[in-house]
Structures are given as structure tokens and as C-alpha cells.
């Protein structure tokens, strides 16, 4: 698709948008189907990418691409989603690619570590939660997006969005950088209005540092 | 389409508990449980059979709106023939939302006045398309025409043999394949070029019996900076994968082989790689061209009109107007951009498409398979798919009655996942 029009938008310090905790599931318990775990390991090479959201950084070209995400519950092809990772002494870097023919602000990708989790949406919002801390800036979490399409403009064709997220090791592993880090990736999207959740490993994946 | 980069810093919101998201004030929870498939069990009666539908919600909780008998009807999901009645067949087909499903359908492929009815001797009913087709040669695979002379063999001396080459050719009945969008996910991401997928697709087309007479591609063979060298490298990877098919391939220009409008441009490396790799070997000098393919017995004529949207010019418009005005029994127009999308050619082409007589507009650009009216969207050749159809390819076959049947194949299962008759 056309790359002719490229708008660089810098959003800094938009501040916290705290939301009160509400446990919806406790209020309306749902039957949850057990889904089989899909063990997977994503190799991460040493390297420091520019956190600009773009997949054209050589560090990402050299990185292993994860197996494509799968529908959380059904055995069927789903819009392509993949993850790549790399690391340096200070941070872990994760790239998430999502093919998406209809970008919505409500779309999400999520990275979940033992220490906390991070979510991003194609409209540029970033959400963090590590223990009691939810301020991404205070946590040192940075993210950048590259969006091919128009968010919430249903009349226009969209193609994909990519987010690059960096997380300091001090938040992920305060006691020292591990050789393997448990991680889950998830994508929430919609398909013709139907909620669609795709996952990588169904909760039992890991990033292995090379 | 706009592509923008957005750097986000210090934009935080609290959320509640691992594995869940907050309410509408920020992080969403996409509905809790993921959507599930239609329950293949249940106690649905056969009353839903042949009930016309547009959405599965119209079919009750135990049935799915799926394609069979040439239209969309409710059908009970099945996992095997034992799930269906005596006069029913468990048919792998496509649900209205594009998902692959198997449903019980009438074994005669007929719903009321729609469908096969009674098929003539020597033909059988395509249960999904609801039309009678010649018996297949190879046990249910597409196979194409049962006339093996049409398998794309080379010309043979003085006698006229069925053959389609770079200049076109003559056959008994048309049978060709369509592949679209084979680029990698990211710019210059040559390391992740989808070589394995493209290779398998071409291998499968080559292995069809008979082999499709030619292949049409709808564009986007690369994703690379037009000033760099990666486009050429990706083109070489593509050509290596394509070499597993031994017939002629007619290639349309995609936007990634140019990015803007390459009419008259000489210093765009991607465009040059496209011309050198896919156009000049056909003996063509321009990225737009028309290929004549005619009946070997002179009963019909066809042309494949390859449009280069991203090399659009007044000269190409004049050429296209002239080509479309030439009378042929069948006209197949190929371009990268679907109707409704924006590209250098789309405004000029809209009135031409409205007035021209053609049978099919084959497009790509969007990485999925779909069809609407005469338009076939074929964009699952290896680029990151954006829909629920797996990577694959389509075939177009001229049936005995002159109609054109399209079939979509899943490259992994080799199964037919879509089938329709061009209007």
C-alpha cells in the first residue's frame, strides 16, 4: 500500500489516565473453556533497535519471527500476527506485527510477563501494569507505532500496524537478566464486528535470549 | 492510505489483575471468552436445510449460514458423513463469514430451483457451486478440464497444439490459476520473504492434472525501499519460487513495485526489478499488455488485459479503452487495486469498467480472498493475510456450458475453500 503520506506524530507525557479497578468477571462469572497450552519459544538476538515502530530496522530483519498467532479457541486461519524480540544490556525489545484490514481504536496487542503487562492500541495509547505501578513513563516503558491505515475510518482500506515496545530489565527481572523469560502475547481485534482473540502460545511461551 | 508513526511516551492507565483488562475507560476486554465455532453437535432438525440466509444468526444456534447449491443456505455442521442424513452429504465449504466449515447439504446439490437439478451424463454436481461439471480426472481435485490436451504442452511442429505462451495461444477450454500478493511483512525484510509459501503454491499448481495453462498474478511481489537493492533481491527470491511452475505467468504491477506512479520513471529500483523480472521476459516493453487466448477450433476468443495502475498515463488509458473495445467472448481484466480503493488508475478506470463488457476483474492489494460480482480479490499468495482464508490461490475454469467457475484453494490442505460461478 502507499507509503506516500507519512505523518510523524510525537506524543509525550500525555499523563496518566487512571481507571478504577473493577472486577467484571467476579460480578458476572463466565464458564471458561480450558484451552490447550501451545509451548513456544521465541529466540531474541542481542541488538538495539530504534524504537520507532518500524519493521524496516535491520535488527528486526535479523530477528526470528514467531510462529503466527492462532485463534484462542477455534482452529481456523486468522489475520496474521507475529512477534519478534531482541535485547541489550538495558532493555528487552518486542515488535508485534498485526495485519489488519480495519483498524480500530479498540484493537489491542498485549505482552504479558510474570512481572507485569503492557498493552498498545493502533491509536497510540499504551497501557502498563507492573505491580502497583501503571505509569508507563515511570516504569521506563517506551513504545512506538507504525500504522498503515486509518484508525476508525471504516470507509478506508487498512493493511497493518506494528508496535515496538522496550521494557527495562530492571522491571522485568530485578534480580538479574534471565536466559529465558516467560511471556504471553495476545491480540484482541474484531472480524466483521465479531470479537476475535488471537494468541501465540496460549500462556506457556518464552523469549530465549541468545 | 496514510501510514503514520506514533511515538508514545508516558501514557499510562491502571488496569486490574493479570489476564484481564479494565473497563471502557481504557484497556478493553474483548468480550471475555473468545468467539467459538458453531456447535457441531446439538439436536437441530433438518428443517434448516436449504433455508436461504445472509448471516448465521438467521440459522439458529445449531446451524451455520454457508455456501452450497450455488447460494448461501443454513446447514448443520458435520464432522463426517455419519452426521448427515441419507440424502445429504457432509460438504467442506465456506461460511458467510469466510470461515471454513463442513455442513450437511443435499446430495443432489439442489435447493428448490437453485443448484444442479439433474446433471447430464458424464457430469457430476459441484455441490458448493450448484452446477454440473465434467467428471474430474483425479479424484476430486480441481484438475481442470478433462481434456488433457489443454495441460499446457509446448507447440508441436506443424499441427496446432493447445498452448499458451508469452504471446498467448489456443486451447480447447480455459483453465488458469491466479495468485496475488507475495510480499514480506516489512520493508526491506528480505530475510522473512515468504518463499516457502510461494514455492508450495506454484508446486501445487504445477502438479495439478491437467496443469493450468497459465498463471495470472495480481501484484506486490516485494516490500522494499525503491532506492535500495532489496527489491531486486526479493524479485530473485520470487522468481526462484515461481520457477516450480513451468508454464507462462502474466504479472500485474502492484503498488509495492512502484509506490506512486511509475509512468515514465526509470530510476525506481523496484519498478525496474518488476520490468526486468516479470515483464520483459514475456517480450513486453510496457507494464501493461493484453494477451489473446482463443479456442483452438475458433468458437470463442478471450483476452487477458493486464493493467498497471501504478504506471498510469493517458497513453495507458487510451490503450485500455481500445483493448476493452475489441470484441471477445471472454475478457479478463487484471490489476492490483480492487474497486473502491485509491490508486492512480482508479478514477479513470471506473467509467471504463462500467461501460466495458468483461467477465472478471482479478485484483489483489488486500491480503485475503473474496469475491463480489465480477471482482475476484486474490491476495493470499504469501503476504500477511488479513482475513480468515489461509494462503492459497484460485483457478478459473471454462465449463462446458461456457460459464466460468472459480475455485479457491488452501495451500496447506489443498482443499477447495471457495467456489462460485462468475456472473
Residue of B231 and B41 predicted with greater confidence: B231
Residue B300, pLDDT > 50, answer yes
B292 contacts: CB under 8 Å, gap ≥ 6: B167, B168, B301, B302, B303, B328
By Cβ distance, the residue of A117, A136, A192 closest to B97 is A192
Is B7 close to A53, i.e. CB distance below 8 A?
yes
A33–B contact, CB cutoff 8 A = yes
Per-residue pLDDT tens for B123-133?
Answer: 677 787 777 76
CA-CA distance, A130 to B125, in Å (whole number)?
Answer: 60
pLDDT at B25: 26
Listing DSSP states for B136-169 in one string gives: PSSTTS----S-GGGS-PPPBTTB---EEETTEE
Grid cell in block for residue B149: 490436451
A181 has a chain B CB within 8 A of its CB: no
Whole-number average pLDDT of chain B: 83
pTM of the model: 0.74
* B121 vs A51 pLDDT, higher one: A51
pLDDT on residue A204: 87
3-state secondary structure of B369: strand
Contact list, A136 vs chain B (CB under 8 Å): 8-12
Residue-level pLDDT, tens digit, chain A, 210 residues: 333 333 333 232 222 222 322 333 333 444 555 567 778 999 999 999 999 999 989 999 999 999 999 998 887 889 999 999 999 999 999 999 999 988 999 999 999 999 999 999 999 999 999 999 999 999 999 999 999 989 998 767 788 999 999 999 999 999 999 999 999 999 999 877 788 999 998 878 999 999
- Over residues B324-329, mean pLDDT: 97
Question: In a 10 Å sphere around its CB, with 0-12 CB exposed, 13-18 middle and 19+ buried, how is residue B95 labelled?
Answer: buried
Burial of A143 (0-12, 13-18, 19+ CB in 10 A): buried
Beta strand A126-129 with B248-251: parallel, antiparallel or unpaired?
A: unpaired
What percent of chain B stands above pLDDT 70?
81
Grid coordinates belonging to B418: 471457495
User: Which chain B residues are within 8 Å of A126, Cβ to Cβ?
Assistant: 8, 11-12
Structure confidence by residue, pLDDT tens digits, B177-223: 999 999 999 999 999 999 999 999 999 999 999 999 999 999 999 99
DSSP reduced 3-state for B192: helix
Nearest CA-CA partner of B179 in B229, B232, B242, B119: B242
* Residue B89, number of CB atoms within 10 A of its CB: 19
Give CA separation, A88 vs A54, A97, A210, B311, in Å: 18, 21, 11, 44
Structural domain boundaries of chain B? Answer: 46-134, 148-421
- Tell me the shortest Cα–Cα distance from B142 to chain A, in angstroms: 22
pLDDT confidence band for B269 (50 / 70 / 90):
very high
CA distance A11 to chain B (A): 5
Has residue B381 got a pLDDT over 90? yes
Q: Are strands B375-378 and A91-99 parallel, antiparallel or unpaired?
A: unpaired
Average pLDDT over residues B328-344: 95
Q: Residue A33: what pLDDT?
A: 56
Q: Taking CB atoms and an 8 Å limit, are B6 and A76 in contact across chains?
A: no
Question: Using a CB-CB distance cutoff of 8 angstroms, which residues of chain A are in contact with residue B256?
Answer: 1
**Over the Cα atoms of chain B, what is R_g?**
23
Domain ranges of chain A: 50-209
Q: Which three cell numbers stand for residue B391?
A: 494462503
Q: pLDDT tens, B389-411?
A: 999 999 999 999 999 999 999 99
- State residue A11's pLDDT score: 30
pLDDT at B78: 86
The string of pLDDT tens digits covering residues B96-116 is 766 667 889 998 888 887 788
Instruction: Measure Cα distances from A98 to A43, A148, A196, B331 in Å.
Output: 19, 10, 13, 36
Cβ-defined contact of A3 to B3 (cutoff 8 Å): yes
- Chain B hits for A22, CB-CB cut-off 8 Å, are 16, 22-23
Nearest CA in chain B to A190: B30
Is residue B145 pLDDT above 90, yes or no?
no
Check B386 against A99: CB less than 8 A apart.
yes
**pLDDT score for B68:** 82
- Residue B102 has what pLDDT? 83
CATH code that applies to domain A50-209: 2.60.40.1190
Q: Any idea which fold B148-421 has? A: Purple Acid Phosphatase; chain A, domain 2 (3.60.21)
Region of poorest pLDDT, from B27-41, B68-82, B143-157, B244-258:
B27-41
Is the pLDDT at B279 greater than 50? The verdict is: yes
Q: Which residues of B touch A113 (CB under 8 A)?
A: none
Percent of residues, chain A, with pLDDT higher than 90 = 66
Residue for cell digits 495461444?
Answer: B169
- Closest in A53, A76, A128 to B6, CB measured: A53
Amino acid at each position: 500500500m502507499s507509503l506516500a503520506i507519512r505523518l510523524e506524530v510525537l506524543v509525550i507525557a500525555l499523563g496518566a489516565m487512571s481507571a478504577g479497578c473493577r472486577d467484571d468477571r467476579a460480578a458476572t462469572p463466565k464458564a471458561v473453556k480450558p484451552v490447550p497450552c501451545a509451548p513456544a519459544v521465541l529466540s531474541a538476538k542481542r541488538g538495539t533497535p530504534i524504537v520507532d515502530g518500524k519493521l524496516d530496522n535491520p535488527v528486526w530483519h535479523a530477528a526470528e519471527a514467531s510462529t503466527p498467532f492462532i485463534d484462542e479457541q477455534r482452529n481456523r486461519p486468522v489475520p496474521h500476527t507475529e512477534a519478534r524480540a531482541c535485547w541489550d544490556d538495558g532493555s528487552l525489545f518486542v515488535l508485534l506485527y498485526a495485519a489488519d484490514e480495519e483498524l480500530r481504536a479498540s484493537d489491542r496487542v498485549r505482552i504479558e510477563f510474570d512481572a507485569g503487562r503492557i498493552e498498545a492500541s493502533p491509536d497510540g495509547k499504551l497501557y502498563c501494569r507492573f505491580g502497583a505501578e501503571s505509569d508507563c513513563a515511570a516504569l521506563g516503558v517506551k513504545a512506538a507505532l507504525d500504522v498503515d491505515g486509518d484508525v476508525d475510518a471504516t470507509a478506508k482500506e487498512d493493511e497493518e500496524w506494528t508496535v515496538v515496545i522496550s521494557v527495562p530489565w530492571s522491571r522485568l527481572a530485578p534480580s538479574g537478566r534471565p536466559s529465558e523469560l516467560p511471556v504471553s502475547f495476545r491480540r484482541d481485534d474484531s472480524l466483521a464486528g465479531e470479537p476475535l482473540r488471537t494468541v501465540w502460545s496460549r500462556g506457556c511461551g518464552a523469549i530465549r535470549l541468545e | 492510505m496514510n501510514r503514520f508513526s506514533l511515538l508514545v511516551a508516558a501514557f499510562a492507565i491502571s488496569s486490574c489483575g493479570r489476564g484481564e483488562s479494565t473497563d471502557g475507560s481504557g484497556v478493553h476486554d474483548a468480550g471475555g471468552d473468545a468467539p467459538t465455532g458453531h456447535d457441531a453437535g446439538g439436536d437441530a432438525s433438518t428443517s434448516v436445510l436449504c433455508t436461504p440466509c445472509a448471516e448465521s444468526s438467521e440459522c439458529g444456534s445449531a446451524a451455520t449460514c454457508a455456501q452450497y447449491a450455488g447460494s448461501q443456505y443454513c446447514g448443520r455442521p458435520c464432522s463426517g458423513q455419519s452426521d448427515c442424513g441419507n440424502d445429504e452429504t457432509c460438504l467442506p465449504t465456506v461460511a458467510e463469514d469466510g470461515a471454513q466449515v463442513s455442513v450437511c447439504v443435499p446430495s443432489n446439490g439442489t435447493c428448490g430451483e437453485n443448484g444442479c437439478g439433474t446433471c447430464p451424463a458424464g457430469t457430476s454436481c459441484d455441490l458448493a457451486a450448484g452446477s454440473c461439471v465434467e467428471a474430474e480426472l483425479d479424484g476430486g481435485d480441481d484438475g481442470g478440464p478433462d481434456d488433457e490436451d489443454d495441460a499446457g504442452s509446448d507447440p508441436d511442429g506443424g499441427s496446432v497444439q493447445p498452448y499458451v505462451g508469452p504471446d498467448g495461444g489456443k486451447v480447447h477450454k480455459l483453465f488458469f490459476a491466479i495468485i496475488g500478493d507475495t510480499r514480506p511483512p516489512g520493508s526491506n525484510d528480505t530475510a522473512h520473504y515468504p518463499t516457502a509459501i510461494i514455492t508450495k503454491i506454484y508446486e501445487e499448481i504445477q502438479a495439478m492434472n491437467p496443469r493450468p495453462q497459465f498463471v495470472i498474478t495480481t501484484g506486490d511481489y516485494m516490500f522494499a525501499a525503491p532506492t535500495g537493492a532489496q527489491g531486486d533481491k526479493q524479485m530473485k527470491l520470487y522468481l526462484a519460487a515461481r520457477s516450480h511452475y513451468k508454464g507462462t505467468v502474466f504479472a500485474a504491477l502492484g503498488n509495492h513495485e512502484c509506490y506512486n506512479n511509475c509512468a515514465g520513471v526509470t530510476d525506481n529500483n523496484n519498478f525496474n526489478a518488476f520490468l526486468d523480472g516479470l515483464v520483459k521476459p514475456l517480450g513486453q516493453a510496457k507494464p501493461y499488455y493484453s494477451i489473446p487466448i482463443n479456442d483452438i477450433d475458433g468458437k470463442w476468443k478471450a483476452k487477458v488485459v493486464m493493467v498497471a495502475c501504478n504506471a498510469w498515463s493517458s497513453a495507458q488509458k487510451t490503450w485500455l479503452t481500445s483493448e476493452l473495445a475489441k470484441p471477445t467472448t471472454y475478457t479478463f481484466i487484471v490489476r492490483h487495486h480492487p474497486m473502491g480503493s485509491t490508486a492512480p488508475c482508479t478514477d479513470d478506470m471506473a467509467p471504463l469498467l462500467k461501460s466495458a463488457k468483461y467477465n472478471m476483474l482479478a485484483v489483489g492489494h488486500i491480503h485475503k480472498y473474496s469475491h463480489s460480482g465480477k471482482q475476484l480479490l486474490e491476495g493470499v499468495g504469501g503476504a500477511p493475510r488479513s482475513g480468515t482464508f489461509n494462503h492459497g490461490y484460485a483457478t478459473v475454469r471454462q465449463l462446458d456450458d461456457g460459464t466460468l467457475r472459480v475455485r479457491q484453494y488452501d495451500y496447506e490442505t489443498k482443499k477447495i475453500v471457495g467456489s462460485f460461478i462468475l456472473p
